A and B are shown apart, each in its own frame.
Chain A
Amino acid sequence: MEHMTLCIDISKCTACRACQVACKNWNQLKAEQTQNRGTHENPPDLSANTWNRIVFMETRLADGKIDWAFFNDRCRHCEDPRCMEGAESLPEAIVRDDSGAVIFTEKTRELDFDDVASSCPYGIPRKDDVSGRIVKCTLCVDRITHGLKPACVQACSTGSLNFGPRKEMLRFVEARVKALGAEANVYPDPMEDYNTLWILPLNSKHYPLAQAMPIPRRHRMAKTRMPMAVGVAALAAAGLMHFRERGLHDPHRKQGETNR
């Protein structure tokens, strides 16, 4: 199948959360017993039953203006998926599809969850205690391989979620960033390494990704896998980012002046 990419234009998101509901509907994921924790954001974290969610962040800027960002968090579908490192004991458990989707197969049951979870710099994988599988966004591989858009994209009414052939999407991203002005940028960086891309209209410090460090680029062309020790060292180098991004998933996040 053609190489595809999903692009999230933050400037068009209204936090209606149709994407969250559509994901649960298509993938038949259970609702969670949530509570209002003083924010509209819910469920509080990604989970075995929540594969994408909108993170809300509000700040009063120095000039009194309000900055209110909605960030749709989910799997980045890396070109060179770090989570596959955690599956080295059973390489076929996590596969990268031609479409660009990184897929956790049923064989993830046999993997050590901590290995997989700790290898992902974005804190995405979750253990489904019912099935025993490790789960996350599939890029709706069961839809896209039949010519459909992912369920979340189908449900998005504002054009915030976009999906298409990779080359087309990269052109789209560049055009949108240009249109949105000097501060606009693409996350993650460099965009060539990911199949889920975010268009950020403002500097990334305005989003719950503040000061994210770029992940050291791996050389996919050199097919040799890094020895484990090097991998760990690379992770350590990316430690700050790892920590920050995992901070996204802290259910005890403080609300208030900076409602992260």
Chain B
Amino acid sequence: MTNHWIDIRNSDYILAMGSNPVKNHPISFKWIMKAIEKGATLISVDPRYTRTSRKAQVYAPLRSGSDIAFLGGMIHYLLENKLYFETYVREYTNASFLIHPDFMLPGDNQGVFSGLKGTETTEGFIDGKYDKATWAYQRDDKGNILKDKTLQDPHCVFQLLKKHFSRYNLEIVSSITGTPPDKLLAVYATYAKSGAPDKSGTVLYAMGWTQHTVGTQNIRAMSIIQLLLGNMGVAGGGVNALRGESNVQGSTDHGLLFHILPGYLKTPKAGQETFAAYNTANTPQSADPLSANWWRNYPKYSASLLREFYGQEVALEEAYRYLPKIDAGVDYSWLTIFDLLYQEKFKGFFAWGQNPACSGANCNKGRQALTKLDWLVNVNLFDNETASFWRGPGMDPKQIKTEVFMLPCAASYEKEGSLSNSGRWMQWRYKAVDPPGKALPDADIVNALFQRIRALYKAKKGVFAEPILKLRWEYGPKDAAGKVTHIDPHRVAKEINGYFLEDKVINGKLYNRGTLVPGFTSLADDGSTSCGNWLYCNSYTQEGNMSARKNKDDPSGIGLYPGWAWSWPMNRRILYNRASVDLDGKPWQPEKPVIEWHLNVWKGDVADGGWPPLASGEKSRYPFITQTEGHGHIFGPGLADGPFPEHYEPLESPMEKNLLSAQFISPVLKRFDRSTTSDVNLRASHDPRYPLVCTTYRVTEHWQTGVMTRWQPWLAELEPGMFVEISSELAAEKGIKTGEIVIVKSARGQLEAVAMVTVRWAPFTIAGKTIHQVGIPYHYGWVTTAERKYAANDKKPQVFTFGDSANIVTPNIGDANTMIPESKVFMVDVVKKA
């Protein structure tokens, strides 16, 4: 979230799209309701009429996978009717920037942007990659970007935007989305009102936007709308991802994914042989003195991170040499890992706090892949489909070689530590009860593992042992032999915040060696500071643990509560808040100011940098400080699949062709269905055997694959099993009655579900044809069912659940930028069980 949960109450127009907050983020509704009580309008856009739709004043249905068409139509509407916030667009976004004259839009270039190299097929290009040379800004000989502040130059971003989305007229958008034109207009006209300078609009999205081959571009489309309407940086605005897991924000912040290190620093690549080369590759340059270009500080953050990892005894260059490097162009994302495992490219696997046998897309393939392992370690609270994969449906234990180890771990209430919520708040949590039996906090399991591995390296001298032998490990009290006995979460939190490694005077104040760094502006690139994650610098200082604060004062009046927990970065509650004021530092929204320039200082939230307002000239800085050019990206040249969003069909679509262009699906996707293992990566698009669009979603009562909630009898009794929601029209057509068991099948597998016939899901009219959509929940698995065999020492659930994972039918294809699987749209059939 650029904003935070409480801030939803400040919004005037709330768009819930790609999310169902009332059902899946129930507490968020408390804040949505406060906004509605003050006069806000809630808009719900969803394939089916959800509980959020029930609470919304405006509802529009759309076919899953058509969000870019829907939002593209909104961009077209805003531009045609001049409903954008002109000053904001001109001054704070890159709308005025001139783009390379050879840049071509999909409308003029076979449905793709200029620079694509790929193989041409009847579906358009495949296996493509963009050369982004023509996506560049025009610059003068000093490197300054050429701009046209009148927004008239045909090569300026604004005019290109207008031209690109002129193709997204109401008629074509309605044909693609299946949304009736009057409902499109109702949404567009309502949300456009947030473009008034004193009004704000927020978007609440979740996996309904990310789990698509065009997921990143779904969010880009909305980001463009938010910039056009001046909704970034303001109270009640922003682009807000409602995260699906209580600490998933923390996990990404701290570098859980393969391509990033903590603080969104980049994983080194094989070609970056020196620390200097690594820093140069990742430190952007700006010729514009008014651009803060915050990432220019990259070397300070990377050096401080290396100091945290390896300490002062190891030179920075040497420490950099110790870091793992990834080969350029190779991705180690989830789908690829399981593809490699299926091909027997590795032998051991830690399934830590996860249940890939149910959570991975196309999980029949994933379950087969697990059989290729020599060993599997499952760290979890309960037995699950991954730990017991060898005795799951269709498996013959005698034929499976894998040795499985189960390590029981502590649940969140059984250990101390922090978690970071969607609103970027780091919140400290205390231990309530001891973990049962031999269960340990995850960090203590890591500690034990590390001690054993290091001892083995010491004893047996492995290849490239230094990175393990020299790793700093100052995370807890030590025994006489110097071994950390258990992890102290406070020490970890302090290491994340960072220390001064030398005495330092900053702005006339002395900071002693060994004291905690007060904030990331004190971090240095010369090795004199350490910091485990620059974004979290300031979270645990000499003043104490900021995340444990519980002060309920709100001097802002807009719910910032600066003394409650701690928000990254620097306790800033609303990101890009310098865009919430005009050039003189006056809030666009005087009724709910985020910051205000008053007597030469910023009042309110922690401002995005202390520089004076833009009107004060060279001492100022543009508001979007993490963008190299300081401006919000209407044109986004950094992505793999285009600088503007363009509608492409999902991998599996009911359509014969893309109504907008000759390019059927995104041209730059990694296509497992075309790989050597294609027998388990099947695709069935526009195939009469699978005529129904299917999507997946969650219920309030279950969490992720249900490992924690299916064992909880009070939750299991509320949502006891797999269902498929189908419209009453489709049910009548197929002779399916509500409550009867049906089969949902895709090209990759099939599962049993209870038919839930509903009037809340109307068939779509797409390009003149009736298209039905159905939906299934995510959470189930065979381990808690009544039908399976239970061994004598198996725990039996008090309430059995019915059915297996939705991922049996989902496709393994990822977003072009993130590799998040397209679990939100694929093709199935639903038939009566014989």
Contacts and interface: CB of A to CB of B under 8 A. Distances in A.
A255 B758 CA distance: 8
13 contacts: A14-B22, A14-B54, A18-B26, A25-B714, A37-B738, A38-B757, A157-B27, A157-B30, A158-B26, A158-B33, A255-B757, A256-B738, A259-B758
Given A14-B22, A14-B26, A58 B758 contact: yes
A224 interface: no
Contacts of A105: none
Interface stretch (B572-580, B586-594, B653-661, B716-724): B716-724
A66 interface: yes
Contact of A158 (B29, B719, B739): B29
A36 B33 contact: no
Interface of A: 12, 14-18, 20-21, 24-25, 30-40, 42-43, 58-60, 66, 68, 157-159, 255-257, 259
A257 B728 contact: yes
Contacts of A15: 51
A35 B800 CA distance: 9
Interface of B: 22-23, 26-27, 29-30, 33, 49, 51, 53-55, 699-701, 713-723, 728, 737-740, 754-760, 798-800, 802
Contacts of B718: 17, 20-21, 34, 42
B51 A32 contact: no
Given A14-B22, A36-B756, A21 B54 contact: no
A36 B740 CA distance: 9
A68 B759 CA distance: 10
A158 B30 CA distance: 5
A38 B715 CA distance: 17
Contact of B700 (A17, A43, A66, A259): A17
A256 B757 contact: yes
Nearest to B753: A36
Contact of A31 (B760, B798, B802): B798
Contact of A259 (B26, B716, B755, B759): B759
A129 B157 CA distance: 73
Contacts of B723: 36, 38
Contact of B714 (A21, A39, A259): A21
Contacts of B701: 17
A42 B713 contact: no
A38 B714 contact: no
Contact of A257 (B719, B737, B759): B759
A21 B812 CA distance: 36
Given A16-B23, A36-B722, A256-B757, 20 more contacts: A14-B26, A15-B51, A18-B26, A30-B713, A30-B798, A31-B716, A32-B717, A34-B718, A34-B799, A36-B754, A38-B737, A38-B757, A43-B717, A58-B760, A59-B759, A66-B49, A66-B54, A66-B759, A157-B30, A158-B26
Contacts of B720: 33-36, 42
Contacts of A36: 719-723, 739, 754, 756, 802
Q: Select the residue from B26, B53, B739, B759 with max chain A CB neighbours within 10 A.
A: B759
DSSP class of A's interface residues: helix, strand, loop or mixed? loop
A68 B49 contact: yes
Nearest to A41: B718
Contacts of A14: 22-23, 26, 29, 51, 54-55
Contacts of A255: 738-739, 756-757
Nearest to B755: A38
Nearest to B739: A38
Given A60-B759, A68-B49, A255-B738, A38 B754 contact: yes
Contacts of B23: 14, 16
Contacts of B715: 21
B585 to A, nearest CB: 38
A35 B754 contact: yes
Contacts of A60: 759
A67 B127 CA distance: 47
Contact of A35 (B27, B714, B802): B802
Nearest to B52: A14
A33 B784 CA distance: 12
Nearest to B54: A68
Given A35-B754, A36-B723, A36-B802, A157 B714 contact: no
A256 B756 CA distance: 9
Contacts of B717: 31-34, 42-43
Contacts of B716: 31
B30 A33 contact: no
Given A17-B718, A36-B720, A38-B757, A31 B738 contact: no
A21 B717 CA distance: 10
Contacts of A24: 714
A19 to B, nearest CB: 11
Contacts of A66: 49, 53-54, 759-760
A30 B715 CA distance: 11
Contacts of B721: 35-36
Nearest to B800: A33
A42 B721 CA distance: 11
A140 B314 CA distance: 64
Contacts of A40: 699, 719, 756
A255 to B, nearest CB: 4
A40 B718 CA distance: 7
A256 B719 contact: no
Contacts of A259: 758-759
Contacts of A37: 738-739, 754
B728 A31 contact: no
Nearest to B21: A14
Nearest to A39: B756
A30 B713 CA distance: 8
Contacts of B51: 14-15, 68
B64 to A, nearest CB: 19
Contacts of B760: 58, 66, 68
A37 B26 CA distance: 24
Contacts of B759: 58-60, 66, 256-257, 259
B426 to A, nearest CB: 23
Contacts of A35: 720-721, 754, 802
A34 B717 CA distance: 5
A16 B739 contact: no
A79 to B, nearest CB: 31
Contacts of A59: 759
Given A14-B23, A157-B30, A31 B49 contact: no
A256 B755 CA distance: 11
A159 B739 contact: no
A253 to B, nearest CB: 10
Nearest to B761: A66
A256 B51 CA distance: 18
A17 B699 CA distance: 11
A14 B22 CA distance: 7
Contacts of A34: 717-718, 720, 799
A106 B158 CA distance: 76
Nearest to A32: B717
A158 B51 CA distance: 13
Given A21-B714, A31-B714, A256 B728 contact: yes
A20 B33 CA distance: 22
A33 B721 CA distance: 11
A109 to B, nearest CB: 26
Q: Select the residue from A18, A21, A66 with max chain B CB neighbours within 10 A.
A: A66
B49 A16 contact: no
B552 to A, nearest CB: 18
A40 B720 CA distance: 9
A42 B756 contact: no
Contacts of B798: 30-31
B54 A32 contact: no
Nearest to A254: B738
A15 B799 CA distance: 21
A39 B739 CA distance: 8
Contacts of B802: 35-36
Q: Select the residue from B51, B700, B718, B738 with max chain A CB neighbours within 10 A.
A: B718
A14 B759 CA distance: 18
